[in-house]
Amino acid sequence: MNILAVDTSAVTATVAVMKGGLIAGEASFTNGLTHSQTLMPMVDYVLKGAGLGLADIDLFAASVGPGSFTGLRIGVGAVKGLAYALDRPCAGVSTLKALAYNIAQTDRLIVPIMDARRAQVYTAAYRYKDGGLIETSAPEALGIDELCDRLGDRTIFVGDGVAPYMEKIRSLMGERAEFAPPQLRMQRAASVCAAAAGESPVSPAELSVVYLRKPQAERERDEKLNTSNGKD
């Protein structure tokens, strides 16, 4: 089966294609351009490099969240459009689960952390079992202190939340905390491919973004309404 996967959940835009169970091409860019500018040229580049055309793709996969509200909509929208045009199924993959697939098989608990701002991270927990990852803690937004309080086992942290919170995590967990090396911390579409291979396909209409919090514009609106109601 040939899988085309994209991840636009954060500052890195990444595209990969899996051909016959192996990654045949991958591209990632963190260049300050918007994902709407880079995504489709990357899709074309990766497919040509793999010797495939869009018609050769059996499954279109996308990271569906958590992550950047705008970025996720761009990636999911692009995948839905391609799948609709070619009458192909889709697979939606948790951004956090895909990040966990960046880590090779280990007996450690794998905890992805994505910077969610407002002193929180998006996080979940995973373990390898029988060659695949199982979710042991569902995705949610947490403060680092609360997250570390919950973790009793030796843990590998991965994701863009590692850099800003590494020292804080070390101070709270000591030797129980390990960290993915820089080249494995960020989103990779190859990992979305790996995760998508084990997901149940859905129709393009069923593919949707998963939000753990309201978009910033909605939160700001609610805060203004609450402040206004408080004055009344």
Q: What is the pLDDT of residues 81-94, one digit of tens each?
A: 999 999 999 999 99
Q: Is the pLDDT of residue 224 over 60?
A: no
pLDDT of amino acid 227: 57
Asked if residue 224 belongs to a domain, the reply is no
Give tens-digit pLDDT for 29-67.
Answer: 887 767 988 999 999 999 999 999 999 999 999 999 999
Give tens-digit pLDDT for 61-113.
Answer: 999 999 999 999 999 999 999 999 999 999 999 999 999 999 999 999 999 99
Asked if residue 17 belongs to a domain, the reply is yes
Mean pLDDT of the 199-218 span: 84
Mean pLDDT of the 194-199 span: 94
Q: Is the pLDDT of residue 216 over 70?
A: no
CATH code where residue 164 lies? 3.30.420.40
Domain match, 160 and 177 both: yes
pLDDT of amino acid 219: 46
Asked if residue 176 belongs to a domain, the reply is yes
**Alpha-carbon gap, residue 195 to 94, rounded angstroms:** 9
Domain match, 31 and 133 both: no
Asked if residue 76 belongs to a domain, the reply is yes
Number of domains in the chain: 2
Asked if residue 231 belongs to a domain, the reply is no
For the chain, percent of residues with pLDDT exceeding 90: 84
pLDDT of amino acid 225: 53
pLDDT of amino acid 218: 53
Asked if residue 223 belongs to a domain, the reply is no
Domain match, 203 and 166 both: no
Q: Is the pLDDT of residue 122 over 60?
A: yes
Mean pLDDT of the 114-140 span: 94
**Alpha-carbon gap, residue 201 to 92, rounded angstroms:** 8
Domain match, 191 and 91 both: yes
**Alpha-carbon gap, residue 84 to 28, rounded angstroms:** 25
Domain match, 101 and 91 both: no
Domain that holds residue 36: 2-95+187-212
